[in-house]
């Protein structure tokens, strides 16, 4: 596996059947738990482990808006909705835009290991566990699709 910038094609995964997740944003915001088994390819019963839970992490994912513009952000929990449109300054509910028909590539790194100070291991959820998305007001039927688009070695 090459890490040379001129050989990035070695690190790009093709879009393949069963690795595309699609959400209908027509009725309202989507709160997508990226560690939930429903939001990952199916594994055999009993094969659920830390590796399968981290399916989306450690690589780039591609997000694509279809039918209208989408605002999105990643969060450690699902308590930061609804999403606000663009406005000056920082805001805990501001979303970034994906224009209709466009694709955005987003790195989802693993959470750095936390140090325990005694009394057991610390909680260690990925910092981007939740993907929160909503269509732009006034848009009709809107879908958000996402898929892993790079190798974990990238």
pLDDT digits (tens, 9 = 90+) for 20-29: 899 999 988 8
Calculate what percentage of the chain has a pLDDT beyond 70: 71
Q: How many domains does the chain fold into?
A: 1
- Please give the model's pTM, rounded to 2 decimal places: 0.75
Bridge-based pairing state of the strands 70-75 and 130-135: antiparallel
The Cα–Cα gap between 143 and 154 comes to 28
Q: Is residue 9 part of a domain?
A: no
The Cα–Cα gap between 99 and 90 comes to 21
Q: Is residue 153 part of a domain?
A: no
pLDDT digits (tens, 9 = 90+) for 108-127: 877 655 555 556 555 555 57
Q: Is residue 19 part of a domain?
A: no
pLDDT digits (tens, 9 = 90+) for 22-70: 999 998 888 999 888 888 877 666 666 666 778 888 888 999 999 999 9
Q: Is residue 3 part of a domain?
A: no
Q: Is residue 60 part of a domain?
A: yes
Indicate left, alpha or beta for 97 from its phi (over 0: left) and psi (-120 to 50: alpha): beta
- The boundaries of the domain holding residue 103 are 24-109+126-148
Q: What is the mean pLDDT of the chain?
A: 78
Which residues does 117 contact at the CB level (< 8 Å), separation at least 6?
none
Q: How many CA atoms lie within 13 A of 152 on its CB side?
A: 7
Residue 136 has pLDDT above 80, yes or no: yes
Q: Is residue 88 part of a domain?
A: yes
Q: What is the pLDDT of residue 126?
A: 58
């Amino acid at each position: 596996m090459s890490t040379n910038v001129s050989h990035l094609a070695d690190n790009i995964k093709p879009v393949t059947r069963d690795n595309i997740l699609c959400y209908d944003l027509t009725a309202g915001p989507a709160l997508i738990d990226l560690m939930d088994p429903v939001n990952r390819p199916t594994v055999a019963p009993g094969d659920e482990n830390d590796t399968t839970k981290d399916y989306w992490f450690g690589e780039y994912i591609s997000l694509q808006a279809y039918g209208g513009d989408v605002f999105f952000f990643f969060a450690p929990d699902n308590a930061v909705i609804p999403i606000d449109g663009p406005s000056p300054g920082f805001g805990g509910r501001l979303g970034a835009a994906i224009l209709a028909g466009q694709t955005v590539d987003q790195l989802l790194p693993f959470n750095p290991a936390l140090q325990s100070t005694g009394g057991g291991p610390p909680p260690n959820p990925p910092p981007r566990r939740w993907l929160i998305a909503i269509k732009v007001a006034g848009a009709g039927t809107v879908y958000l699709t996402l898929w892993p688009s790079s190798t974990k070695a990238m």
